[in-house]
Structure 1
């Protein structure tokens, strides 16, 4: 897919759809905010799997670290959202950098086991550090100030809507820029044939390490935004279920496609919200059936649809 054409089509469509939803669905701004955050999280994981070829069962660690960072800072008087957002990204990227030596080496099976173990380790550490994280109760008694001292988060969710939408646009542009850069092309080469890229002199470890750190920072950004807009940080934000969710979003949308991943995150989050309200007990069955059907109907995920649209655009 032509990535320049992809951004020329999908980014304006994203903004138009968001604007339409804002005016036509004012009662669903909370859900839309959740969708935007999920899309940022999915983009962070797609950068890891879709470009660097690194699979992970513990990606929610960085998401949860982002949420807990804004909660802890807010509880200690640091309330500026943009400042705590940057701090959350820094904390998540540092954590990713520390984990690089044990994550980017080995094969996919080893990475799955290591990242799964890391996820459980962070989850239990957060559970035990009750004085810092609130343990199983989480953190809610923290303050989130107005954005840049001007725009306070309102009960109706208008400010949160535009704040998270802006975050999604920033994440979109970052991933797009990476994907079209020589660094992104090298990552794709590593994913397709590591031995060949190593033979031509590409630094396999360095490229994957940078991708892992950047992916962690974007995941921390998503977690921070959820913590700020919900005024809550809890253990489930870094639990295995959230890691599994982001893997399903990416698979549903199609790895390696920015527009497809955003569509996958939107469909998964919306479907989860609808089915859980209809059947709180069996909603996961419905989501599972949809995912199974998508494998047969859309083997390349929703990215296949965006590719078809791009081909139609080129014919014009």
Structure 2
């Protein structure tokens, strides 16, 4: 399939991402945030861009996965980070499967309210059972074990960034394979016209439940990565602002293609850091202004600017190979 083939800008994109390990040795902390935010945005794009499911409460799975990873480490149940990451992702996946039956009912407006309600409900439950979750103070005293028993998290964040980047790349490969499979094509057919998809024999509800459950797994893994790299899990993981920021990331990057969430995460975090440095109290105002500018100038033009460096690197490699 043509869309499943790797192109030179894609290869250059990931080479540039890996090159950040050497290019920005003093920026590992923000690079780590970009990595898990990109995975979080990828999870939302799976349901919004490919399945057409609008969600304002996607932070429910992010926060749930984060708390699962934190509790597993805090109580010594699973000390190995990779195994704890998988367990946290599967727990969020189970939550996504259970709640998917509620989300599938009704129209887009109903789905907006249901997803938002689920996130708010989980936040209040986490706050109520403060003896387990730490309440408004969050989980305290989380100590992470070395990854695979070999790589210890360092204070500079280098190991954490490499860890997040590897997980992001592996799950990106999986998502890429899925969206280009017959299953992914059927999900896109449902997004374009559910009635037509049902008429040709596609099980609409089962496909939507499956992609929603998969997206919950991705969001749970992103939340677990955030907890493991910061040694902190708090109620902010369930907050509406988390879901709103995620929606901005996906809008900035674009929906319906996997790199949209990745590009949006890079742009959003860089703009957030820039505006927070200039005006710490009003950085959200400037983010909104940038969003308006994107609408005016067109996202395609912005993407050409963002992808200029990977394309330049790809051209350099092709010239070198030809020589």
TM-score range, shorter chain: over 0.9
1:14 counterpart = 2:8: no
Q: How far did 1:307 drift?
A: 9.6
Mapped to 2, the partners of 1:237 and 1:265 lie a distance apart of 17
Report how many residues are paired. Answer: 312
Mapped to 2, the partners of 1:259 and 1:38 lie a distance apart of 13
Q: How far did 1:24 drift?
A: 2.3
Mapped to 1, the partners of 2:231 and 2:214 lie a distance apart of 25
1:103 counterpart = 2:103: yes
Pairing 1:95-244 to 2, within 5 Å after superposition: 95-244=95-244
TM-score by length of 1: 0.93
Mapped to 2, the partners of 1:302 and 1:109 lie a distance apart of 30
TM-score by length of 2: 0.91
Is residue 71–residue 140 contact of structure 1 (8 Å, CA) maintained in 2? no
Q: Which runs of 5+ in 2 are unaligned?
A: none
Is residue 21–residue 162 contact of structure 2 (8 Å, CA) maintained in 1? no
Mapped to 2, the partners of 1:24 and 1:45 lie a distance apart of 29
Mapped to 1, the partners of 2:220 and 2:13 lie a distance apart of 22
Q: How far did 1:122 drift?
A: 0.9
What is the SS of the residue equivalent to 2:53? coil
Question: Which residue pairs with 1:65 in the alignment?
Answer: 64
Is residue 138–residue 235 contact of structure 1 (8 Å, CA) maintained in 2? yes
Question: Which residue pairs with 1:39 in the alignment?
Answer: 38
Q: How far did 1:123 drift?
A: 1.1
Question: Which residue pairs with 2:275 in the alignment?
Answer: 275
Mapped to 1, the partners of 2:79 and 2:7 lie a distance apart of 36
Output the aligned Cα RMSD: 2.2
Q: 1:203 to 1:157 in 2, by over 3 A?
A: same
Is residue 43–residue 171 contact of structure 1 (8 Å, CA) maintained in 2? no
Mapped to 1, the partners of 2:301 and 2:215 lie a distance apart of 21
Q: 1:43 to 1:102 in 2, by over 3 A?
A: same
Q: Which runs of 5+ in 1 are unaligned?
A: none
Is residue 254–residue 303 contact of structure 1 (8 Å, CA) maintained in 2? no
Mapped to 1, the partners of 2:2 and 2:238 lie a distance apart of 35
Mapped to 1, the partners of 2:304 and 2:105 lie a distance apart of 31
Mapped to 1, the partners of 2:144 and 2:301 lie a distance apart of 37
Is residue 261–residue 303 contact of structure 1 (8 Å, CA) maintained in 2? no
Mapped to 2, the partners of 1:36 and 1:49 lie a distance apart of 20
Mapped to 1, the partners of 2:187 and 2:86 lie a distance apart of 25
